[in-house]
A and B are shown apart, each in its own frame.
Chain A
Amino acid sequence: MKIALIVLIPFLGALLPLLLIRAGRNVCTIAAASVTGLALVILLTTVPEVYSGTVPRFSAEWLPALGLSASFFIDGLGLFFAALILGIGFLIIIYTRFYLDRSDPMGRFFAYLLLFQGSMVGIVLSDNILLLTVFWELTSLSSFLLIGFWYHLPESRAGARMALVVTGGGGLALMGGMLLLGNIAGSFELSEILTRGEAIKASPLYLPMLLLILLGAFSKSAQFPFHFWLPHAMAAPTPVSAYLHSATMVKAGVFLMARLWPALAGTPEWFLIVSLTGLVTMVIAAWIALFKDDLKALLAFSTVSHLGFMTMLLGLGTRSAVIAAVFHILNHATFKAALFMSAGIVDHETGTRDIRKLGGLRHAMPITAILAVLACASMAGVPLFNGFLSKEMMLEEASHTVYAGQAWLFPLLATVGALLSAAYSARLAFHVFFGTARHDTPKHPHDPPFGMWLPVAVLIVPVIAIGLAPAFFAGAIVERTALAAAGGALPPYYLALWHGLTPALAMSVTALGGGLLALWLYLPLNGLRLAVPRPDAMTLFQAVITALVVASRRIIDTIDNRDLTRYLGVIMVAICVFGLAGFFGATHAPGDRATLAVTLPALIGWAVLLAACGLIVLRHQDRLFALIVTSVVGLVVSLAFLQFSAPDLALTQISVEVVTTILLLLAINLLPRTTPDEMPRRGKLTAGAIALIAGGGTAALAYAVMTRGFDTISTYHIENSKPGGGGTNVVNVILVDFRGYDTFGEIIVLAIAALTIYALLDSALRGAAARRLDAIRNGPQANPQAHDPHPLLLTVVTRALLPISVVAGIYILLRGHNMPGGGFIAGLIVAIAFLMQYMASGYAWAHQRARLDAHTMIGGGVALAGVTGLVSLLFNRPFLTSSFGYFHFPLFGEVELASAMAFDIGVFFTVVGTCLLSLATLSRVEDRAEPPDDHGRRA
């Protein structure tokens, strides 16, 4: 649990600065520093354990089926990196306090920083590689926020976006690689994976998996050819550059390669790809760094170069090279973070980071100058500083590396890299702090406040201490870390200042001397560089992104042309294709089930249906006519239900038909009366062809099914309808009992539809829609008949019919359990009776007299049905279990009461409410469009 806390504390603590910024910048800083400090202290309590050789673990299951678990462990490597992240993080926080301006939102900055810190610690302590990938993505996201912290600056935004695209894209590749790795190893736990190196390397999927993982690692660590994003990320505030782009995030890729080293390294593929990528990065980035005039850009490319240095060492695949890599990670973290902070101080104090405008700062800011020059010396690889030692070890490894049969390649390029490294370090030291003092900087420079240079000084201490007595100060750390990274015993090695007259020493001396020479020849060299055309990363990147956007837009414009008709056409064609494929892929011949003889009424109905279908195709432009024809089809359908032993369906269909027709009539009144015949002949033929295929297929399918025998599951329902559900109308018992849950869901859908209709229409009485309604009322389309008052005869008859219809409806509702009827049908009948009042007497009249609000009916109906279901829970029966009994009532005699009846009443009210709400709202809108009648009032 303690281990998980180390990861969790920064995440939880990220809230503190946001809350405490109101209490002032100092409190905010203290809060952020305490969070980091607390995590660091907890981490350090594990040191005795880890350094005695045990590995503390914590594991909690998360998604075991996917292999994802929240498991953490601390070994030497994890401890080393976590300590770097938290330790340097702590110093950065203090530095930030003095770096950020009063106008900068410090609370937000610290919150982002802590989020990032937690993600980084998560990467280095994760035992599960999926969890590691999650944290990996989190660092990409939180670094995006940090790089874009000054989001008012365009280059901040551009840099942040570029970093996100590159590292996020790499993260995707990494995810794929990790999934492959987990599948190959048979486990997603690192501790398992690291023991299965042989099996992993022998797998046929090794190469794709390796490439994907390396893609993630290289893009994160800015290795060639992904080195371009890092300098642009330098638009971030300096503390971010110092923290993310030197000490931590860019090392995540190196960490990952070290972490997986026992499982992946040692193959020819690994050696060929990783070592060469590292070496090329080291040289190219150092060359670029030498000519950067921006301090931070110089440091950024120098970081890329040093990351290449570490990558190359890990790529060599020998354990001694791992030791050198680990040692250099430690050394680089100290001097580079110190340099970044020094650059920040220079920028802060002089107002510029341009080396060409700086010089002689040792007079104005002696403390900063001393610290920075010491760090530069270490970066250059001057003896007595820690940078010298690890560079020496690197040169030693390179000196006996044979790459693809070429023994000269690695020693030469490694020396060139070291030479360039010495050159840019010297340039930084001499051109900024030495030489003649400049007095034309935007600000008058002096040493910064104590809090700003102290973190630098703290980092310079190990630079010198390790440089003088490496074995004493760093021996244990390097050994424990390298043991964990190499996953086994280490070859003999000595961390010492003097190794005798070795080839590495010669290379080292060449590099230092050559570096100074290069600086002396700076101007001619720069001329040479300028003579060679160089690609500008940002321009290329933007061009690629723009091209991608244009290409996507083109594809989208082709596919998504916002023409819904075409979408439907495509969908229909697809359905036909799949349907036909299925149809002809299996037997579709009619079966031998006994068919029913045709009767004359059926034949007439069929003929009417076909005639109606033909008529509507020819004359659907006349909308009223189309509506009438549609109703005829609806009638034939209900007659068909009646013919084929489905009285409930017939009743439902006919009442729905009435309600739908009223609804469409109301709508037609406001819509255009005709559909323009605008479809070209070709379009009609295409649509017709699709329609014929769809119709023919459906007909053939229906016929094939109907003529075959089948086993029904309904025997159960018929047998249990009376004894189990208490009703003889099996359809109704299925609805309210067997499948009551479905029905419950369906009335809820109805209720939602009704409320949506209400919402759509209620707001139509305002804005553009209302103006158009007024236009219809006054415009030429206004129907002269609408001036007629409500027809007297209709009014009288409907009012007289109302009670009769309601009684009939209630009768149908109550008998539904045993005879055709039920809540749905009764609801529709009663709704029609009420709608007649709206039609005959007008909206206002009917609305005034409506006792029950339609909303109440809908809500009450759904509630009643739900409560009925819940009651059965009280009796320890499942939701919606029906119970019934027989009761004796005076006058009525024996009456059966089933709880399903209450459910059906709920259905009834929902249906009535839905119909009334939809149509009444529609008629209210209609009312608005009606011209005032002769009495000058609106009906």
Chain B
Amino acid sequence: MNMTMSMEMLLATGIGAMTAVGVYLILHRRTFPVIMGLTFLSYAVNVFLFAMGRLAIDLPPIVSKTAAGYTDPLPQALVLTAIVITFGMTALIVVLSLRAYLETGSDDVGLGVPPDSADPDGRRDGAAP
């Protein structure tokens, strides 16, 4: 077992950090941090999926006679479309939250809970900034 510094370790901890930030941010009550959190989670998920093909340096999956070998192209293909879809999804939720903000004057993710019935510790102010 080799737990010393390696590229794998760097990438794994990077994925972990991005996941943690993503989860932390989506647990907020305003749309913007939630969007940021989802962006971080998307990074983490995409890199995680990519890493399932293991890491290789200087072995791009481009067929040529001189290539020493190829890294796994399949996760790359999956992640490529995932990145683009992530963009589509991010754009959609950004616009959704924007429209919701323009419509209601609030960027709270709650579904219109009246302030008095909210959590006992009174986290909600319900007011638009």
Residues of A within 8 A of B (CB): 561-565, 568-569, 572, 589-590, 592-593, 595-599, 602-603, 606, 609-610, 613, 616-617, 620, 623, 626-627, 630, 633-634, 636-637, 640-641, 643-649, 652-653, 656, 659-660, 663-664, 667-668, 670-672, 674-676, 678-680, 682-683, 686-688, 690-692, 694-700, 702-703, 705-707, 710, 712-714, 717-718, 721-722, 728-731, 734-735, 739, 742-743, 746, 749-750, 753-754, 756-757, 760-761, 764, 767-769, 772-773, 818-820, 824, 828, 911, 914-915, 918-919, 922, 925
Judging by beta carbons under 8 Å apart, are A596 and B62 in contact? no
B60 near A647: Cβ-Cβ < 8 Å: yes
Residue of A590, A630, A670, A824 near B40 (CB, 8 A) is A630
B20 smallest CB distance to A (angstroms): 3
CB distance from B22 to the nearest CB of A (A): 8
CB neighbours of A728 from chain B (8 A)? 62-64
Q: Are A675 and B72 in contact (CB under 8 A)?
A: no
Contact (Cβ within 8 A) A819 B91 = no
Contacts of A692 in B (CB 8 A): 20
Q: Could you name 22 residue pairs across A and B whose Cβ atoms are closer than 8 Å? A: A562-B112, A564-B109, A565-B110, A569-B27, A572-B23, A595-B6, A597-B7, A620-B25, A637-B47, A643-B57, A675-B30, A679-B28, A679-B29, A687-B24, A690-B27, A695-B16, A731-B73, A734-B74, A753-B89, A756-B92, A772-B102, A922-B98
**B71: which of A590, A644, A680 is its contact (CB, 8 Å)?**
A644
Contact of A656 among B84, B101, B102, B110 (CB under 8 A): B84
- Whole-angstrom distance from the CB of A927 to the nearest CB of chain B? 14
Output the nearest chain B residue to A746 by Cβ-Cβ distance.
B81
CB pair A730–B8 under 8 Å, yes or no, is no
Chain B residue with Cβ nearest A922 = B95
Q: Which residue of A is nearest B92, CB measured?
A: A753
A670–B98 CB distance below 8 A:
yes
Residues of B within 8 A of A590 (CB): 1-3
Cβ of B116 within 8 Å of any chain A Cβ, yes or no, is: no
Contacts A597-B6, A656-B83, A918-B91; is A698 near B44 (CB within 8 Å)? yes
* CA gap between A616 and B20 in the complex, in Å: 11
Chain A binding site: helix, strand, loop or mixed by DSSP? helix
- Of the candidates A653, A702, A754, A820, the one having the most CB atoms from chain B within 10 angstroms of its own CB is A702
Q: Give the docked Cα–Cα distance between A710 and B32 (Å).
A: 40
User: Contact at B54–A613, with CB atoms within 8 Å?
Assistant: no
Chain A residues with Cβ below 8 Å from B12 are 699-700, 702-703, 706
Give the distance to chain A from B44, nearest Cβ to Cβ, in Å: 7
A735-B82 Cα distance, complex, nearest whole Å:
12
Check if A682 sits within 8 Å of B121, measured CB to CB: yes
Cα distance, A750 to B52, chains bound together (Å): 25
Alpha-carbon gap, A773 to B32, bound state (A): 18
- Give the docked Cα–Cα distance between A660 and B83 (Å): 11
Q: Which residues of B contact A660 (CB under 8 A)?
A: 39, 87, 90-91
Q: How far apart are the CA atoms of A773 and B125 in the complex, in Å? A: 23
Contact across chains for A656 and B86 when beta carbons are under 8 A apart? yes
Q: Which residue of B lies closest to A736 (CB)?
A: B77
CB distance from A179 to the nearest CB of B (A): 39
Q: Count chain A CB atoms within 10 A of each CB in B18, B98, B103 and give the residue with the most.
A: B98
**Are B95 and A761 within 8 A (Cβ)?**
yes
B14 touches A606 (CB 8 A): yes
Contact A602 B7 (CB under 8 A): yes
CB–CB A671/B47 < 8 A: no
What is the CB-to-nearest-CB distance from B82 to chain A, in angstroms, rounded to a whole number? 9
Q: Assess whether B23 is in contact with A714, with CB atoms less than 8 Å apart.
A: no
- In this complex, how many residues of chain B approach chain A with their Cβ under 8 Å: the count is 101
Q: Distance (Å) between the CB of A828 and the closest chain B CB?
A: 8
Apart from A646-B60, A646-B71, A718-B63, list 10 A-B contacts with CB within 8 A: A569-B27, A592-B1, A609-B17, A648-B76, A668-B32, A700-B12, A717-B73, A728-B64, A746-B85, A818-B62
What's the Cα separation between A35 and B84 when bound, in Å? 61
User: What is the predominant secondary structure among interface residues of chain B facing chain A?
Assistant: helix
The answer to whether B40 touches A671 (Cβ under 8 A) is no
Q: Which residue of A lies closest to B29 (CB)?
A: A565
User: How many residue pairs bridge A and B at CB < 8 Å?
Assistant: 345
Task: Flag if B47 contacts A564 (CB, 8 Å).
Answer: no
Measured CA separation A168–B16 after assembly (Å)? 53
* Closest CB in chain A relative to B57 CB, distance in Å: 6
Indicate which residue in B28, B60, B73, B99 contacts A760 across the interface (CB closer than 8 Å).
B99
Query: Quick one: which of B2, B21, B51, B109 contacts A595, CB cutoff 8 A?
Result: B2
Contact residue among A610, A670, A911 (Cβ-Cβ distance under 8 Å from B17): A610
Shortest CB-to-CB span from B52 to chain A, Å, is 6
Known: A663-B90, A670-B101, A820-B60. A714 touches B72 (CB 8 A): yes
User: For the complex, what is the distance from the CA of A653 to the CA of B95, rounded to whole Å?
Assistant: 21
B26 cross-chain contacts in A, Cβ below 8 A: 568, 572
B112 / chain A contacts, CB cutoff of 8 Å = 562
B72 contacts which chain A residues (CB < 8 A)?
712, 714
Judging by beta carbons under 8 Å apart, are A691 and B123 in contact? no
Residues of A within 8 A of B20 (CB): 613, 691-692, 694-696
B1 CB, nearest partner CB in chain A, Å: 6
Chain B: CB-nearest residue to A727: B63
Provide the bound-state CA to CA distance between A731 and B80, in Å. Answer: 9
Across the interface, B91 reaches (CB within 8 A) one of A663, A722, A820, namely: A663
**Chain B 38-74 interface 0/1 with A at a Cβ cutoff of 8 Å (1 = within):** 0110011011101111111111111110000011111
Contact call A616/B36, Cβ cutoff below 8 A: yes
Min CB gap B83→A, angstroms: 5
**Which of B6, B48, B80, B124 lies in contact with A824, CB distance below 8 A?**
B80
Q: Write the chain B residue with the least CB distance to A776.
A: B102
Partner of B54, one of A706, A718, A734: A706
A698 pairs with B95, CB closer than 8 A: no
Q: A616-B21, A617-B24 are in contact. Are A676 and B94 (CB under 8 A)?
A: no
Residue in chain B with minimal CB distance to A718: B70
A700 to B111, CA, bound (A): 36
**Which one of B3, B14, B35, B62 lies within 8 Å of A730 (CB-CB)?**
B62
B110 touches A698 (CB 8 A): no
Q: Is the CB of A678 within 8 A of B125?
A: yes
Q: Which of B35, B94, B97 has the most CB of A within 10 A?
A: B94
Note all chain B residues with C-beta closer than 8 A to A757.
91-92, 95
A675–B33 touching, CB < 8 Å: yes
- The residues of B that contact A667 with a CB separation of less than 8 Å are 94-95, 97-98
Q: Which residues of A contact B40 (CB under 8 A)?
A: 613, 616, 630, 633
- A640: B residues at CB distance < 8 A: 11, 14, 47
How far apart sit A448 and B92, CA to CA, in the bound complex (Å)?
70
A819 to B29, CA, bound (A): 44
A707-B2 in contact (CB<8A): yes
When distances are taken between beta carbons in the complex, the residues of chain B under 8 Å from A648 are 76, 80
Question: For A592, A652, A674, A772, which residue has the most chain B Cβ atoms within 10 angstroms?
Answer: A652
CA distance A819 to B60 in the complex (A): 10
> Which of A561, A672, A679, A698 has the most chain B CB atoms closer than 10 A to its own CB?
A698
Which of A641, A687, A718 is B73 in contact with, Cβ under 8 Å? A718
User: Pick the contact of B43 from A589, A633, A712 — CB < 8 Å?
Assistant: A633
